[in-house]
Amino acid sequence: MPKLIPLRIASDSAPNDALLGRQISEHWSFPIIDDSPQTLYLEVVDGTLGLVDGEEKKVNPVVVDFASPASMYRKAHGGGKKEAIVKAIGLKGAEHWHVVDATPGLGRDAFVLVSVGCHVSMIERSPVVAALLEDGIRRLAIEYPELAERMTLHHGNSAEVMQYWKDGDVDAIYLDPMFPHRKKSALVKKEMRIFQHLLGHDPDADALLAPALSLANARVVVKRPNSASVLAEINPTMAIESKKHRFDVYLCNKN
């Protein structure tokens, strides 16, 4: 069962932030608190929902920011088409593909695909991560509605949602399951540390491949660390490798 964490609305919160916080709490059933616990909690600050680590006060909250300066610069200068994920998905003149991202995380890979013209349906089972993604789409729609319109969010277990998919044809499916990190780098950076605290790794990742192969018309792409074994012990059609990761590509060719 995904872990449910509280949403903090302090007595001195800005009125608009408090209102948005209550709306998010009601929609996702997050319990409201007014203090700052020494654990993970959600909070709305300056109109943005963030995931806070109460044990690390000097670390900024984790937010979904599709319109970050880095993302928009890359989009404006055409860098998206050079991304390894775009090559792996196989976008050669098929920019209007419908792609399902069944393990979206903070949605960064999904946004790369959206920026080159795809419609991306994200499936997220954690209500906390889903709420962050939903808030990111909401804010993206304010500045870039044409991009937000190409992003859809589904809340549920990806294996089950894909098995009973009813939201139109799917050209490709992207899987990037959480993998246990053994090194203490800068994030196993910040977001990854907090995500692993919240979610752990994906012990049922193997269960995603079969429904993905059944649903996708063209291909399934699985992102893996170079040291990781193939998903579900099924060898891909081909692999695209980078310094730290590889993209295992399974061709379906149902069209």
Span 211-233, average pLDDT: 95
* Mean pLDDT of the chain, nearest integer: 89
Residue 152 · residue 63 · CB < 8 Å: no
pLDDT at 187: 46
Distance of alpha carbon 239 from alpha carbon 214, whole angstroms: 20
Span 45-49, average pLDDT: 97
Nearest in space to 153 (alpha carbons), one of 93, 64, 23 = 64
Nearest in space to 53 (alpha carbons), one of 184, 190, 182 = 190
pLDDT at 253: 77
CATH architecture, domain defined by 69-183+200-251: 3-Layer(aba) Sandwich (3.40)
78 has pLDDT over 70: no
213 has pLDDT over 90: yes
pLDDT at 22: 98
What burial class does residue 11 get, using C-beta atoms within 10 Å of its C-beta: 0-12 exposed, 13-18 middle, 19+ buried? exposed
70 has pLDDT over 80: no
Residue 255's pLDDT band (boundaries 50, 70, 90)? low
Tens digits of residue pLDDT in 133-186: 999 999 999 999 999 999 999 999 999 999 999 988 999 999 999 876 555 454
79 has pLDDT over 80: no
pLDDT at 240: 92
Nearest in space to 132 (alpha carbons), one of 52, 208, 234, 212 = 52
pLDDT at 3: 60
Nearest in space to 198 (alpha carbons), one of 26, 55, 29, 48 = 55
What are all long-range contacts of 77-82, with beta carbons under 8 Å and residues at least 24 apart? Answer: 80/112, 80/113, 80/115, 80/116, 81/116
Model confidence pTM above 0.75: yes
Q: Tokens standing for 96? A: 């209007």
End-to-end CA distance of the chain: 37
pLDDT at 191: 72
Crossing angle (nearest 10°) for helices 108-115 and 69-76: 30
